[in-house]
Amino acid sequence: MSFDMVVGLTGGLGLFIYGMKQMSEGLQKTAGKRLRHILAFLTNNTFSGVLVGTGVTSIVQSSSATTVMVVGFVNAGLMTLKQSIGVIMGANIGTTVTAQLISFDLGDYAFHAITLGAIAYLFANKKKYQYIGQVILGFGILFLGLNIMSETMNPLRDSQYIVELMKNFGKYPILGVLAGMTITVVIQSSSATFGILVGLVSVGVIDFNSGVPILLGSNIGTTVTAILSAIGASKTAKKSAAAHFIFNILGTSIMILLIYVIPDFTGHLRELLRSVSQVTNNTISSERLLANTHTLFNVTNTLIWMPFVGFMVHLVNKIIPGEDISIERGLVHIDERMLNTPQAALTQVHKEVTRMHSIVEEMILESKKAVIEKDTEMIKKIRHKEEIVNEIEEELLVFLTNIPQTSLSDEDIKTLDSFFAIVDDVESIGDDGNSIADLAEYIIENDLEFSEEAIKSIENAYDIVTSYLGDSREIIETGNEDLAEKLFAGEEEMDDILLQYREDHLKRLNKGVCIPSAGIAYLEVLEDLEHISDQFADIAYSIIERKKNRIS
């Protein structure tokens, strides 16, 4: 293979992948948010999960994009392991749509699509039409790359070495599986692997029998993207990625076993597909045969395993034992039907705010470990809880707004108003915990070290704040006004501590004990802790104001 051929092949592959990326991005921009909502909420059973996975992957033109989204949803607690397996099965079917598209001889229209797409993408006034232009442009670039690959590989059919090498994939299918898997892992796209395969088939370098094992190998290789996305994710997310790998490797293993056990299995498969095409009076090319085989394999594999999703979950749990200690997302104590009984609705809000406070308490305690012990796991936990707290706040405020005030007494209305303020204060405490997590990450990434005096100061500030955490939650639970004085005193104590520690820090800087970059992080941690004490005082103030209004 000459240098010019290598350049042509890699250049054509680059255009193909770039075109596919542009087409996928354009489609996702057009319907991305809606697709994510569909993925998260319309996967209640395996069958609907398969349909959703198929539909979404057909639209975004990437099973990897779908499976990465699925792993993300599982990691965020929006989807269970069982739900994710159904979507992953559907993603395997959906990705065959790309293969079907590539297998059609549309290369002659590549420049037409590029021209139309570029005009719409560059000159359309509305974003919607720009995104559609991006899709058409990507489509054209994809087929231009495919044409270049086919033309570049055309001389390979005259190379006896290449022909013999490709024939070995037919004689020894396991080699073809390894080749397809390796190529897909390297270029991170089973569709791109299929594009290369189509190029080789179109110029006669490879036949159907040798192409099938490569196709099967690409199905295993595509699972690597999901596995990589699960690194550092929750245990359940890792299980979801493992299920994707197991599902694909089991299906491929069965197919390879049939190829080895049944004489000329791929030949029989080829004739079956040709017979089906003849029913519709259509002749079928080798490229179309491979695309149909890809679809047939993934659909059959899904149909076989759909009844055994429970077994798949059991198997994955055996391979990756243990469960994540997860916090239930959304509102736990709220029932929309209680809006008809506003007093009962306020009781539910009270429970939900207390629960919300318990979550931010955990965040503050974890932020101490993140800063002092440089614990990256704590940073991940805090960020996950920050998302949950924000969701609770958003949904709680909507619920509070929908409580009909006409049925409430003046006293209850004051209680309702105070909840708006308290929810905001509790969420702000969570924001401070998350801010400290960001600072901890900065400290770790920049390998910053605090002096012993600075560490003692941070620990002391944390001791003061954490000593009031329980009081802050209790005053929400009980309305005990005696706790308010403690929280006000805590705020003043933290104000004094912050001033003292700033002076001490300046003295250490002048002596060269602390470095400036570490000093900035040190002061910001203290300021976040001081702000937390302010929120405690604000919560206490809201409770007292509510009590005063009741007395008056």
Nearest-angstrom CA–CA distance, 23 and 139: 6
Q: Domain 336-551 classified CATH 3.20.20.70? A: no
Residue range(s) occupied by CATH 1.20.58.220 in the chain: 336-551
pLDDT (0 to 100) of residue 368: 93
Residue-wise pLDDT tens digits, 54-104: 887 776 666 766 776 777 667 656 677 888 888 888 888 887 776 777 666
Number of H helices, E strands in the chain: 22, 0
* CA 214 to the chain's CA centroid: 29
CA 508 to chain CA centroid, nearest Å? 44
Q: Residue 320: what pLDDT?
A: 85
Q: What letter does residue 62 receive in the DSSP assignment? A: -
For 262, phi then psi, to 5°, come to: -95, 120
Place of tokens 């639970």: 477
Structure token pair of residue 240: 């979801």
Q: List the structure tokens of 269.
A: 């498969």
All residues at 6 or more sequence positions from 443 whose CB lies less than 8 Å from its CB, including other chains? 371, 374, 518, 521
Can you read off the two tokens belonging to residue 234? Answer: 């929750």
Give me the torsion for CA of 266, 272, 275, 279, rounded to 10°.
-140
C-alpha to C-alpha distance for 115 and 126, rounded to whole angstroms: 18
Please list the pLDDT of the chain residue by residue as tens digits (552 residues): 567 777 877 887 788 778 767 776 776 566 554 555 555 555 567 787 888 888 877 766 667 667 767 776 676 566 778 888 888 888 888 877 767 776 666 666 788 888 998 999 888 888 878 888 888 888 788 778 767 876 776 666 556 665 566 667 667 788 888 888 888 777 767 777 777 777 777 777 777 877 888 888 888 887 876 777 676 666 777 888 888 888 888 888 888 888 888 888 888 888 887 777 666 556 677 777 888 888 888 888 888 888 888 888 888 888 888 765 556 667 778 877 778 778 888 888 898 999 999 999 999 999 999 999 999 889 988 988 898 899 889 989 999 999 888 777 788 888 888 999 999 999 999 999 999 999 999 999 888 888 888 899 999 999 999 999 999 999 998 888 889 999 999 999 999 989 998 888 888 877 776 777 788 888 899 999 999 999 999 999 998 887 665 544
How buried is 313 (Cβ within 10 angstroms: 0-12 exposed, 13-18 middle, 19+ buried)?
Answer: middle
Give the type of residue at 261.
V
pLDDT digit string (tens) for 280-303?
A: 556 677 777 888 888 888 888 888
The amino acid occupying position 41 is F
Three-class HEC string of 263-320: CCHHHHHHHHHHHHHHHCCCCCCHHHHHHHHHHHHHHHHHHHHHHHHHHHHHHHHHHC
Residue 551 has what pLDDT?
45
User: What is the pTM (predicted TM-score) of this model?
Assistant: 0.55
| Residues sharing a CB contact under 8 Å with residue 485, sequence separation 6 or more, in sequence order | none
Kindly report the CA angle at 256 between 253 and 258, in degrees rounded to 5?
Answer: 110
CB under 8 Å to 79, separation ≥6 — which residues? 39, 40, 43, 70, 73, 87
